[in-house]
């Protein structure tokens, strides 16, 4: 029997929760649209998988040719509550009917304030907190840096190897990887310093002492090359996303946070990818009891509508003068309504528990797969943010070719997966947290078969 999702809350027929491959991937209708895209859309905007979407919900994405793909991507960690989640649609539609925009900086509205109140409650720490809302993750990170600079009256920003923070000018500077994010787009913003991160799998002396050693190296570099007294902010992803789903080895984050505290530096946790139940906790930094001074959120916050936030200690957030933060659309009322619907869904369905269950299923199966296939060098991640790192057997040499081939084979078989990693050799799994277990297991079957054929 095929399960369906009531996510057809848009009024259409329920979307069958099944994998269905009817045509070549991409099919003829998608190919027609791809030809139109080629003529009308800039080449710099690429597609991972050019199947054109008709509907999406629960754990599937249905394309214009009638294929239905199991979704292990969630639009890059966005649709954690599913696509078209009931509460997101209900609240957004009601808001659309009332008003679409006034600009919060001109005539404000309750939704924005309610989102800020939710953020104060959900983010770590019981100190007084305030928020400012924006449109994209990159914009949130830029504003976190502005706020930290205004508060500390210092300029330097410290970021980490393998970090990703966006594609605007400042966030390109904060991002580690050249291709495709930075190449040819310089000059980049000044006063950005990059230091080592505790990448256990690739740490020269092994994972055991990695946290401690990497922190010592990072802090030494900051002291010698920048001077702690010049640093406004350290910005770090508690689980690094685009860089390869790297969980900094235990002890690393607490040591960096402690250093920041001792030196009057604003500790910014970029939870844009890892936040909002993705790792089985509201925020990934809770795992080691970190209480960031500022936290940036986006993606999962609003069930697919564009919304982002900086949340943090009230006295830091208030350091920027009135009019210094904002933007025409930041905290758009429809996006705020969607966020309130997404948060309602996360609470009601206990999506943290669902994320932990997804981890259990995936880690168990991927662990066994790794025993059979030495090309899987590492299985890691938390909650529904899980990855495998592919290497040449018997070595740790990255195998980006196999990674790309595996992604393509999965796509052809009706499983939407994404890759990442500084070396392009990590397959990442980011299913919607509402995906059914049958579909999750079927997706893993597809992956196993594809790997068995290729490896």
Binding site for ligand PMP (CB under 6 A): 76, 136-138, 141, 164-166, 237, 241-242, 270, 272-273, 298
Q: Which residues contact 213 (CB under 8 A, 6 or more apart)?
A: 198, 203, 205
Q: Which residue has the tokens 């206990």?
A: 350
> For residue 428, what are the β-bridge partners?
387, 418
- Taking the CA of residue 12 as centre, how many other CA atoms within 13 Å lie in the half-sphere pointing to its CB? 13
Minimum distance between the CB of residue 367 and ligand PMP, rounded to whole angstroms?
Answer: 26
Q: Between 76 and 226, whose beta carbon lies closer to ligand PMP?
A: 76
Residues contacting 210, CB < 8 A, separation 6+: 198, 199, 200, 203, 249, 252
Min dist. Cβ of residue 282 to ligand PMP (A): 16
Distance between CA atoms of 270 and 42, rounded to whole angstroms? 29
Query: Minimal distance in Å, beta carbon 296 to ligand PMP?
Result: 7
- How far apart CA 343 and CA 282 sit, in angstroms, is 10
Beta carbon of residue 13, minimum distance to ligand PMP (angstroms, whole number): 32
- Report phi then psi at 121, rounded to 5: -75, -40
Question: Is the Cβ of residue 29 or residue 167 nearer to ligand PMP in the bound state?
Answer: 167
Residue among 18 and 139 whose Cβ is closer to ligand PMP: 139
Q: Which is nearer to ligand PMP, 68 or 74 (CB)?
A: 74
Q: How far is the CB of 227 from ligand PMP (least distance, A)?
A: 26
Can you tell me whether residue 308 is helix, strand or coil? strand
Distance, in Å, from the CA atom of 416 to the CA atom of 410, rounded to the nearest integer, reads 7
Q: Which residue's CB is nearer to ligand PMP, number 196 or number 241? A: 241
The dihedral formed by the CA atoms of 237, 242, 248 and 252, expressed in degrees to the nearest 10: -40
Distance of CA 288 to the CA centre of its chain: 19
297 Cα distance to chain centroid: 9
For the bound state, the minimum distance from the C-beta of residue 406 to ligand PMP, rounded and expressed in Å, comes to 21
d(CA 352, CA 334): 25
Which residue's CB atom is positioned nearest to ligand PMP? 137
Minimum distance from residue 355 beta carbon to ligand PMP (Å): 17
Q: Which is nearer to ligand PMP, 81 or 369 (CB)?
A: 81
Q: Which is nearer to ligand PMP, 195 or 418 (CB)?
A: 418
Strand boundaries in 74-162, DSSP class E = 129-134, 156-160
Q: How far is the CB of 324 from ligand PMP (least distance, A)?
A: 20
Minimum CB distance to ligand PMP smaller for 257 or for 418: 418
**Least distance CB 40 / ligand PMP (angstroms):** 22
Q: Which is nearer to ligand PMP, 18 or 242 (CB)?
A: 242
Minimum CB separation of residue 15 from ligand PMP in Å reads 26
Assess contact for 52 and 28: CB atoms under 8 A. Answer: no
What length does the chain have?
455
| 4-5 and 15-16 beta bridge pairing | antiparallel
Distance separating alpha carbons of residues 154 and 148, to the nearest angstrom: 8
Query: Which residue's CB is nearer to ligand PMP, number 10 or number 183?
Result: 183
Do residues 226 and 220 lie in contact, with contact meaning Cβ atoms separated by under 8 Å?
Answer: no
């Amino acid at each position: 029997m095929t399960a369906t999702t009531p996510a057809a809350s848009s009024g259409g027929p329920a979307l069958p929760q099944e994998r269905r491959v009817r045509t070549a991937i991409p099919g003829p209708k998608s190919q027609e649209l791809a030809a139109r895209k080629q003529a009308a859309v800039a080449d710099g905007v690429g597609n991972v998988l050019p199947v054109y979407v008709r509907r999406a919900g629960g754990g599937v994405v249905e394309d214009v040719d009638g294929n239905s793909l199991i979704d292990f991507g969630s639009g890059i960690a966005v649709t954690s509550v599913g696509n078209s989640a009931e509460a997101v649609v209900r609240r957004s539609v009601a808001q659309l009917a009332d008003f679409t925009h006034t600009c919060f900086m001109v005539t404000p509205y309750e939704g924005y304030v309610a989102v800020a109140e939710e953020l104060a409650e959900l983010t770590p720490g019981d100190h007084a907190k305030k928020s400012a809302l924006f449109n994209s993750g990159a914009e949130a990170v830029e504003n976190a840096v502005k706020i930290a600079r205004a508060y500390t009256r210092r300029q330097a920003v410290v970021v980490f190897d393998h970090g990703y923070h966006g594609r605007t000018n400042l966030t390109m500077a904060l991002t580690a990887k050249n291709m495709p994010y930075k190449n040819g787009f310089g000059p980049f913003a000044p006063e950005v310093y990059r230091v080592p991160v505790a990448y256990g799998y690739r740490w020269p002396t092994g994972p055991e002492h990695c946290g401690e050693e990497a922190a010592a190296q990072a802090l030494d570099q900051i002291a010698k090359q920048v001077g702690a007294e010049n640093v406004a902010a350290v910005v770090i992803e508690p689980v690094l996303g685009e860089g390869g789903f790297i969980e900094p080895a235990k002890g690393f984050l607490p040591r960096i946070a402690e250093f920041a505290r001792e030196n009057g530096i604003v500790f910014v946790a970029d939870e844009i990818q890892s936040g909002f139940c993705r790792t089985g906790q509201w925020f990934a930094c809770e795992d080691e009891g970190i209480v960031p001074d500022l936290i940036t959120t986006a993606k999962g916050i609003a069930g697919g509508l564009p919304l982002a936030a900086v949340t943090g200690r009230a006295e830091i957030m208030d350091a920027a003068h009135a009019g210094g933060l904002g933007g025409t659309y930041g905290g758009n009322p429809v996006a705020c309504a969607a966020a309130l619907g997404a948060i309602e869904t996360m609470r009601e369905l206990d999506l943290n528990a669902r994320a932990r269950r997804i981890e259990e299923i995936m880690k168990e199966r991927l662990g066994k797969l790794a025993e059979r296939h030495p090309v899987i060098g590492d299985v890691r991640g938390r909650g529904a943010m899980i990855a495998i790192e592919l290497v040449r057997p018997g070595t740790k040499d990255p195998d980006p070719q196999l990674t790309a081939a595996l992604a393509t084979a999965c796509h052809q078989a009706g499983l939407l997966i994404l890759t990442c990693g500084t070396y392009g050799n990590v397959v990442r799994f980011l299913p919607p947290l509402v995906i059914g277990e049958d579909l999750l297991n079927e997706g893993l079957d597809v992956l196993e078969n594809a790997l068995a054929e290729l490896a």
